[in-house]
Amino acid sequence: MKFLFGIFGILLSLAMFKYRERVGELIGDAPWMQKLGGVYGVVMLTALFFFFWSIAAMVGSEHLFFAPLRLILGPFLGR
């Protein structure tokens, strides 16, 4: 099942890359997005995140993918 969701995530990220202008118009522009390259930059970064997360989910290495986040948020997660 993880493999199927991984394929779906990869297809979603590729669709976000291809239709970034339409996705950008759908979510709109916010002032904080300007620091990350505008709305299209945020869409591209989100698509890139989904792509790598999907690959990590397919091969079962999410623990490596989220290791830096666990280091930062570890005390708040109770671990």
Express each pLDDT in 35-73 by its tens digit.
Answer: 988 999 999 999 999 999 999 999 988 888 888 877 887
CA distance 74 to 47: 26
Among 6, 2, 4, smallest CA distance to 50 is for: 6
Confidence class of residue 78 from pLDDT cuts 50, 70 and 90? low
CA distance 68 to 47: 19
**Domain ranges in the chain?**
2-77
CA distance 69 to 57: 16
Whole-prediction pTM value? 0.79
- Cα 49-47-74 angle, rounded to 5 deg: 20
Express each pLDDT in 4-41 by its tens digit.
Answer: 999 999 999 999 999 999 999 999 899 999 998 899 99
CA distance 18 to 34: 21
